[in-house]
Chain A
C-alpha cells in the first residue's frame, strides 16, 4: 500500500486511523460510540509512543538540564538496530528486541561518557546545537549504513486484530499500549524503590549534594542516558509496524516534545500523561477538523495548557528552598 512519504513521517498516528477507520473529515456523531471508542484506543496507542519518547526528554532534562533534540533519532537508530537483528540476522523477535534495547543502552551510555559530558555546564545554546548536530549525524549515519529505503519489521503483532465487542483494535496498538504500561511500571518501581533509582533522582535534584553523598554522579548520568536510549528503542520497535523504518522516522519526536512540555518537562508521569493527551487529541482533530489541524493540534494544546498551568500538568511546582 503506497502512501505519501511526508504524510507517513509527520503523522504515523493518523495513518493508523486511516487504515482502520477513516480518512478525511467526518461530522460529529457519525459512526457513533463504537467509533469514538476505537478512535480513543488508537489515540492512546499513538499517545503511548509520544509518552515513551517524552520520557526520554524528561529523564535527560531532569538529570543534566539538557534538552536532547536527538531523542527521536535515538528511536530511529533503535528501530534500525532491531531491524538488523530481526530482519537481517533473522533472530527471533524477542531476542532481537532485547539485543536492540541493550545495544542502544550501551550506545547512549557511551554517547554521554564520550561526548555529552563535556558540554555539561556550557551555555544552553551550545547544548542545543550539539544535540541537533548529533541528530543530523545519526540520520546521515543511518542512511549510509542502512540506505534511504523504507524498511519493515515483522512482528508477532503485525497484521492481526483483536475484537472487543464491537470495537476492533489492531494488535499492534495493543502491543504499544501494553509495552508502555510495562515500561511505566518498571520505571516507577525502579525510581521509587531501588537505591540506584533514588540516587538517580538525587543526582538530578542536587548534583553537588549527590557528590557529597558519595554518589558517582557522572556514572549515574551516563546510566540515565542509557535508560533514555533504551526507552527510545522500545518506542521505535513498538512503532515500527505502524510507521515503518527509515532515517527520518525520528521526526515523530517533534510531537513528543509537545507532550513533554505539556506534562511539565520535569515529571515522568507527566510525560506519559502529556503523550496520551496529545495522541488522543490528534486522533479526534484528524477526524472532526480539517486536514491541517491534526498537525498543529499538539503544539496548540501544549500552548493552551501552559497558558493556564505555566508549570505544565505535573511539573514540579516548588523550587529548592534556601
Chain B
C-alpha cells in the first residue's frame, strides 16, 4: 500500500506534568475514514490537538505527506491541508452562519471557488442555508455541529480531524450527520480522522479503527472486524454491563496486545 497520508509515531503529549498520551502511533491512508475510540479522558482530543499544532508533543513525530509537522503553528498546519473540527463545535457565536463559513475559507483567495464550496456545504446541510444570515450562537447544538463541519470543509482540506461530532446529539441527528460525513469522504475524497466514544456509529463508517485507553493504543483493526470484537461490544457498544475500571477489564487487556 502507498505511504500513509498522515503518520503519527510514538507521540507523547503532556498537560504540564500530566501525561495525556503516551507513545501513540497511528496511520491514516488517503481517502480513508479512520476512527479513534476511547472513553472519557483516554486522550482522543489530545491526539487531534497535537496533530493540528495547538499542542506540542514532548516526543514523537507527526508526518503529513511525508514531512514532519509536529510543533508547527496551527495556522501553518491548516494551510498544509489539515482542518480541525474541535470538540464542542466552537463556532463563532456572534458571526452569522455565512461569516462562519467565510472564516473557514480564511486561507483561500479564490472567490469563485469559495462561493462554489459555500453552495456545496449548504447542499450537504440544507439547514445552514435556511439560517444563513443568523448568528451561529442561535443555532441548535446539531446545527452548530453541521456548521463546524462545513466550516472546516470550506478550507478544502486533504484531511479533516473530527472530534466527537455525536456529542450531545439525538441518535437521529447523529445518523444524519454521519451519513453526510460518509458522503463527503466519498464525494470530495476528504480523508477523515474521526474521534468518537460512540463506537457503533463510528465503526459503521470507518475503514480502520484504533482503541485508545489511558493514553495508549490497545487495539487496532479494520472497522468491520472491530465491530465484531467482544471487548468493543462490551465496553463501547454497551451490549454487556460496563465496568470502567473493573478487574475484569484488566484481565481482558492482555488479549488486546
Do these two chains really belong together in a complex? Answer: yes
Contacts A195-B106, A202-B103, A320-B137 given; does A212 touch B93 at CB 8 Å: no
Which residues in window 127-172 of A have CB below 8 A to B? none
CB-defined contacts of B78 to chain A, threshold 8 Å: 212-214
Q: Are B91 and A209 in contact (CB under 8 A)?
A: yes
Residue from B54, B103, B151 in contact with A199 in the complex, judged by beta carbons closer than 8 Å: B103
Q: How far is the CA of A210 from the CA of B94 in the complex (A)?
A: 13
Residue from B54, B94, B106 in contact with A213 in the complex, judged by beta carbons closer than 8 Å: B106
**Nearest CB of B to A51, in Å:** 21
Size of the chain B interface, CB-CB below 8 angstroms: 32
Mark interface residues in B137-155 (1 if CB within 8 Å of A CB, else 0).
1110100100000011001
Residue from B52, B74, B92, B107 in contact with A202 in the complex, judged by beta carbons closer than 8 Å: B92
Mark interface residues in B178-217 (1 if CB within 8 Å of A CB, else 0).
0000000000000000000000000000000000000000
Q: How far is the CA of A158 from the CA of B88 in the complex (A)?
A: 56
Residue from A205, A206, A213, A320 in contact with B104 in the complex, judged by beta carbons closer than 8 Å: A213
CB-defined contacts of B91 to chain A, threshold 8 Å: 206, 209
CB-defined contacts of B44 to chain A, threshold 8 Å: none
Q: Are A214 and B94 in contact (CB under 8 A)?
A: no
Closest residue on chain A to residue B152 by CB atoms: A212
CB-defined contacts of A205 to chain B, threshold 8 Å: 92-95
Q: Are A198 and B99 in contact (CB under 8 A)?
A: yes
**Nearest CB of A to B212, in Å:** 22
Q: Report how many A-B pairs have Cβ atoms within 8 Å.
A: 79
Mark interface residues in A186-223 (1 if CB within 8 Å of B CB, else 0).
00000000010011011001101111111110000000
Instruction: Say yes or no: is A316 at the interface (Cβ < 8 Å to chain B).
Output: yes
CB-defined contacts of A211 to chain B, threshold 8 Å: 54, 74-75
Q: How far is the CA of A315 from the CA of B137 in the complex (A)?
A: 15
Instruction: Say yes or no: is A322 at the interface (Cβ < 8 Å to chain B).
Output: yes
Q: Are A208 and B54 in contact (CB under 8 A)?
A: yes
Instruction: Say yes or no: is B83 at the interface (Cβ < 8 Å to chain A).
Output: yes
Can you list 7 A-B contacts (CB < 8 A)? Answer: A202-B95, A202-B99, A209-B92, A213-B78, A213-B155, A214-B74, A321-B141
Q: Which A residues fall within an 8 A CB radius of B?
A: 195, 198-199, 201-202, 205-206, 208-216, 316, 318-322
